Amino acid sequence: MKPLGPIPAGYAALGGVLAVDGTKVTELVEQAGSTPLFVYSSALIRARVASLRAAMPEQLALHYAVKANPFGPVIALLAELVDGFDIASGGELAMVQAAGIAPQRVSFAGPGKRDAEIEAAIAAGVTLNLESEGEASRALAIADRLGLTPRLAIRVNPEFDLKGSGMKMGGGAKPFGVDAARVPALAREVIAAGAEWRGFHIFAGSQALDAGAVIETQAQTLALAAQLARESGAALPHLNLGGGFGIPYFPGDLPIDVTRIGQALAKAFTSLPEELSQTRFCLELGRYLVGEAGVYLTRIVDRKESHGEVFLITDGGLHHQLAASGNFGTVVRRNYPVAIASRFDAPVAEEASVVGCLCTPLDRLADKGGFPRAEAGDLVAVFCAGAYGASASPSAFLGQGPAAELLI
């Protein structure tokens, strides 16, 4: 048998069935009317934000990266809990506007911003994190045409990356941000043009579980920000330190030690260089806030054997859970945390693979895992489904369509 990933804390059996916030998933499926279904726990999201607040320095703001999970009710819940929102498209801008989030709480990063997106952001009053000199020129020209003062920051491509991160967002040639050596000249240009200067965004990597690597990167980020502010000749009003906090998906993964990170950051804040003495700081987190609060539920429609192997065939699959299938950035496929939700406390009885309904061998949610014996009609739960699930998967593939979503 191949091991399954660790089931996050906060889930339990109720009458033998997986429960989310004290409600059986069988009841949640009945409430939604069908499977597949994403269920997000508001209690787990609230608890995660509260524990992170307790671990981090008081003066550190928390931002939510909308790309992790743009479900409207999740955004509305987090509007009560976090200080700011980071978006990556004009579509996400429309989402935060629909949620009534003040533009002063929003920043917009991402390469390839179209003129229409830049115009909408400037008109709304959100902060644009500039990714290139060309984007800066377009933003200034659009603001001039609109007769508005744009709120502009620069996304920096640092020389370092976040060691051990799942995705490296900095260091070397990257489509993200402006190479550090060119940042001071661009900052002076933006300030001279009359923009409202909003500082730097430095994001070196994501999905890291090593607290030491995050601490090292944050120290490098603070030093680089101070250097660039000094060379720019202007005070630094704001610094987005990025995020990078990962969650355990795979066998052997352990939770990141945020208390250790918070202690190191608090110590660093007590001896900031002069250039950062008046700077406001934030962390930008997505999956760490919502990833473990989500579970994907799919129903077994067939049980079959082939050459002695058991396959549990579901009505869901990679079109909703691309990452769990191993086709979203992982080099070697490993099993996510997966369980038979309708037999949640039953002992392991067999080796089986959980596969989806698509006509491709890539559609595999669990490979030769240990499960209780399951039959058609049973529910399968894929955990860590609160981030990069519904919106990061090809739901239109083979005409299958999206899964339902529910925040409880």
Domain 70-285 matching CATH 3.60.150.10: the answer reads no
Residue 85 pLDDT class (50, 70, 90 cuts)? very high
3-state secondary structure of 60: strand
Q: What pLDDT was estimated at residue 171?
A: 60
Q: What pLDDT was estimated at residue 205?
A: 77
The CA distance from 400 to 204, in Å, is 36
pTM: 0.95
The CA distance from 397 to 262, in Å, is 42
Q: What is the pLDDT of residues 288-306, one digit of tens each?
A: 999 999 999 999 999 999 9
pLDDT over 70 percentage in the chain = 97
Judged by average pLDDT, the poorest of 75-79, 80-84, 173-177 is: 173-177
**Across 181-187, average pLDDT:** 97
Q: Phi then psi for 73, rounded to 5 degrees?
A: -60, -30
282, 357, 359, 384: the catalytic one is 359
Residue 359 among the catalytic residues: yes
Residues, the chain, total?
408
3-state secondary structure of 221: helix
The CA distance from 308 to 374, in Å, is 16
Is pLDDT of 142 > 70?
yes
Is pLDDT of 168 > 60?
no
Provide the residue type at 43 as one letter: A
Which two tokens mark 166? 């799942």
Is pLDDT of 170 > 80?
no
DSSP per-residue string spanning 229-266: HHHHTS---EEE----B----STT-----HHHHHHHHH
Please tell me which residue, 59 or 160, carries the higher pLDDT value. 59
Judged by average pLDDT, the poorest of 118-122, 160-164, 183-187 is: 160-164
Which two tokens mark 42? 């508001």
**Per-position b or e across 69-94, b if 16+ CB within 10 A of its CB:** bbbeebbebbbebbebbbbbbbebbe
The CA distance from 118 to 150, in Å, is 10
The rounded Cα 53 to chain-centroid distance in angstroms is: 18
Reference 284, options 42, 17, 15, 63; nearest CA is 63
The CA distance from 174 to 202, in Å, is 13
The CA distance from 334 to 208, in Å, is 17
Domain 12-40+292-407 matching CATH 2.40.37.10: the answer reads yes
Spatial CB neighbours of 343, under 8 Å, sequence gap ≥ 6: 16, 17, 372, 374, 378
Q: What is the pLDDT of residues 314-333, one digit of tens each?
A: 999 999 999 999 998 777 89
Q: What pLDDT was estimated at residue 169?
A: 56
Taking the CA atoms of 303, 306, 307 and 310 in sequence, report the sign of the dihedral they define: negative
Which residue carries 């999905």 as its tokens? 207
Q: What pLDDT was estimated at residue 160?
A: 81
Q: What is the pLDDT of residues 348-401, one digit of tens each?
A: 999 999 999 999 999 999 999 999 999 999 999 999 999 999 999 999 999 999
The CA distance from 55 to 62, in Å, is 12
Residue 222 pLDDT class (50, 70, 90 cuts)? very high
Q: What pLDDT was estimated at residue 189?
A: 98
Residue 159 pLDDT class (50, 70, 90 cuts)? confident
Q: Domain coordinates of the chain in residue numbers?
A: 12-40+292-407, 70-285
Average pLDDT of the chain is: 95
Q: Phi then psi for 364, rounded to 5 degrees?
A: -135, 120
Which residue carries 């080796």 as its tokens? 351
3-state secondary structure of 250: coil
Residue 176 pLDDT class (50, 70, 90 cuts)? confident
The backbone region for 62, taken as left when phi is positive above 0, alpha when psi lies in -120 to 50, beta otherwise, is beta
Residue 163 pLDDT class (50, 70, 90 cuts)? low
Is pLDDT of 149 > 70?
yes
Q: What is the pLDDT of residues 44-69, one digit of tens each?
A: 999 999 999 999 999 999 999 999 99
Taking the CA atoms of 176, 180, 184 and 186 in sequence, report the sign of the dihedral they define: negative
Spatial CB neighbours of 347, under 8 Å, sequence gap ≥ 6: 372
Reference 294, options 76, 92, 48, 31; nearest CA is 48
